[in-house]
Chain A
Amino acid sequence: MSALTQWFDANLITVINGLAYGLLLYTLAVGLSLVFGMLNLLNLAHGTFFLAGAYVAAVVVAPVGAWLSWVLALTIALATGALAGVGLTAVTRPLARRGHMAEALLTLGISMIGSSLLLVGFGADVRSVPAPAGLDGSVSIFGDPYPVYRLVLIGFGLLIAVLAEVVLERTMMGATVRAIVADADIVRTLGIDTRKILYGVLAAGSALAVVAGVLGGPVLGAGPGLDGNVLLTALVVVVIGGLGSARGALIGGLLIGQVQTLGTALAPAVAPFLIFGAMALILVVRPHGLLGRAETTA
């Protein structure tokens, strides 16, 4: 046991970093997972939404750095994300009969256009995003200084996880969402208008992606290529957890958060292998992810 406590003592900060990163990944991935579960839509523009959020933070928060501008950035992110989600639903619905490859490619095309426009608009330089005033200090954790902002990330991620859990598991609307994931046709035969729910979930998922971009800005910066990286990582998270499962996204996010940060700290040479290795390993043991069900993959 003492070896374990020693290990924790040495790596505590890394573990907390991993927790913050993992919850950020969850915020990004939960929308991706639910959207896939409900619409059978693999939204490859999700990373672009995240990058757009990071740029919102860079533009709105960076010059002033005040608390209010951060709240403003989050509000803008929520609004634009929801709008983008509604727009995305509208353009992908006509393709729903053609199977998920056509829809995935449409979102890939949209993301290529979107990312290029961001590149044209904001340039190729990586922009650093400051943490908002009041949250940019550090606190002492077991004697080590630790940035407050990452604790805020953890708080935010937990808040969203709790909200998602309550809405999905304890409300009528959440029950409808879960029912649509399980079998949309049956839900329609019950006289429920699934379209409203579809629009709502894609709007909420996209809004969360943009918000995750604003939140993640101070940690990851904002620059070209970030969109692809976070999309890949989010896909890994979603696949590990099981497509369509919000809890799975939480587990996957926390797992990949630890794998990534601990891997980089302890074994930098093989760190890039690790998240894909972890995914391959989990898919070998559980072909539908940790909490996924066979039906969602058809």
Chain B
Amino acid sequence: MSTLDRPALRVVVPPLVVLAAAAPPFLAGPYAVSTLTQILAFSLVVMSIVLLMGIAGMPTIGQAGFFGVGGYATGLLAGRLTTNAPALVGISAAAGALVAAATGWLLVRVRGTYLLMLTLAIGELLALVAIARVGLTGGSDGLANIPTLRLLPGVELRHVAVVYWYVAGAVLLMAMLIALLIRSPFGRALRGVRDNEPRMRALGYSTAFYKYAAFSVSGAFAGVAGSLWVTQTLFIAPADMGFHASALALLALIVGGSQSLWGAVAGSALIIVAQNMLPISMQGYGPIVLGAVLVVVVYALPDGFAGIRNPLRPRRTPASRPAAGTDEPRRMERV
């Protein structure tokens, strides 16, 4: 669908991506590397919104809630059950999916702005659970004292470079999974639901089931993102899962381009850098810069950063997509 359509690129690009992803600890200082780690972990939440909003057409402003579920699952179990990071990722994915599945049946009934507001309510309620259960979660102060996790017995995720490689590898793996999911029949059915739900229903698809499944799956990915985030920060607070965090994730999605996984990373980079650096160096002007970027992007880049990518290729519009889920072969896009 993207540049990977060309056979030569298909062979060359993946190793290059892995190389580029592995390089930063050799090139940059510890602060930059840990910022990159945060960007990658955050971008996985944004990718989970790509799946939900860009592909399935369900706008959400509560995704940070499931990020928080995964983060708290990892943080709480790290001291009690296991410090094995991949196991905790699995548990966090299950926790995110379970909570999303428990709330998703409400969401398939509503659409548009009402859906946006209902996801907002779910995210806020999840954050409030974390605030209210002070004894377990530390309340609004957050959950500190999370022990350092281990990748394997004996391999501690303590050094910034090791943590970075672990998070980068995990995010790369998850991004590949999401990309596969988007291209699978399931992903094409989701696009069909997005573009023309009544038609999909007429074709015999249970659209409510597909939406429900998309919501649960994206909850799982958000949970994984929370786990990876906590692996790096060893801290999580209700503020990381409330409205503000969800709004930032949505911003990253729009700035990046709502259907692009690369765009999700680019958008996350902008948001995390603006969050981390501007308030200190520019005395609180971060939100102004972010707001100005948003205004510029909305006017100048209708498809976000992802829209800049390929000036030579004719732009696809959502309306010109074939209705997915029919047996129509993938559209030829090469010029």
Q: Which residues of B contact A105 (CB under 8 A)?
A: 251, 254, 294, 297-298
**B294 A239 Cβ-Cβ under 8 A:** no
Complex Cα spacing A236 to B118, Å: 9
Task: State whether A276 touches B114 (Cβ < 8 A).
Answer: no
Min CB distance, B199 to chain A, in Å? 16
Name the contact of A116 in the complex, choosing from B118, B122, B284, B294 (C-beta under 8 A): B284
Majority secondary structure, B binding face:
helix
B288 lies within 8 A of A239 (CB): no
Enumerate chain A residues within 8 angstroms of B121, measured Cβ to Cβ: 236, 276-277, 279-280, 283
A180 to B291, CA, bound (A): 31
Q: B40: shortest Cβ distance to chain A, in Å?
A: 24
**Is A298 an interface position by the 8 A CB rule?**
yes
Which chain A residues in 278-298 approach chain B with CB under 8 Å?
279-280, 283-284, 287-289, 292, 297-298
B292 close to A (CB within 8 Å)? yes
In the complex, B322 has a CB within 8 A of chain A: no
**Of all chain B residues, which has the CB nearest A98?**
B302
The reply on B111 being an interface residue by CB < 8 A is yes
What is the size, in residues, of chain B's interface with A at 8 Å between Cβ atoms? 37
Q: Is there an interface contact between A111 and B117, defined as CB atoms closer than 8 Å?
A: no
CB of B290 closer than 8 Å to a CB of A: yes
Contact with B291, one of A95, A98, A101, A113 (Cβ below 8 angstroms): A113
Give complex CA distance A100, B114 in Å: 13
Given contacts A102-B302, A116-B285, A272-B128, contact A288 B295 (CB under 8 A): no
Q: A98-B302, A273-B128, A280-B122 are in contact. Are A113 and B295 (CB under 8 A)?
A: yes
Tell me the residues in window 100-125 of chain B with beta carbons closer than 8 Å to chain A beta carbons: 106, 109-114, 117-118, 120-122, 124-125
The reply to whether A239 and B113 form a contact with Cβ atoms under 8 Å apart is yes
Specify which of B118, B131, B287, B294 is in contact with A106 (CB 8 Å cutoff).
Answer: B294
- State the interface size on chain A (CB cutoff 8 A): 43
On whether A100 and B113 interact (CB within 8 A), knowing A106-B294, A113-B288, A116-B284, the answer reads yes
B132 interface contact, C-beta 8 A? yes
Please tell me if A210 contacts chain B, counting CB pairs below 8 Å. Answer: no
B245-296, CB < 8 A from A = 247, 251, 254, 284-285, 287-288, 290-295
Name the distance in Å between B109's Cβ and chain A's nearest Cβ: 5
Contact B109 A284 (CB under 8 A): yes
Contact A273 B125 (CB under 8 A): yes
Q: Specify which chain A residues have a CB less than 8 angstroms from the CB of B106 in the assembled complex.
A: 280, 283-284
Is B243's CB within 8 Å of the partner chain A? Answer: yes
Does A10 touch B at the CB level, under 8 Å?
Answer: no
Residues of chain B contacted by A297 (CB below 8 angstroms): 111-114
A276 near B291: Cβ-Cβ < 8 Å: no
A106 to B113, Cβ gap below 8 A? no
Q: Contact: B113 with A277, CB < 8 Å? A: no
A117 within 8 A of B: yes
B59 within 8 A of A: yes
Question: Are A95 and B298 within 8 A (Cβ)?
Answer: yes
CB neighbours of B285 from chain A (8 A): 116, 120
17 A-B pairs, CB-CB below 8 angstroms?
A101-B59, A105-B254, A105-B294, A106-B298, A109-B290, A109-B293, A116-B285, A119-B284, A239-B114, A243-B113, A270-B132, A276-B120, A276-B128, A283-B109, A287-B109, A287-B114, A297-B112
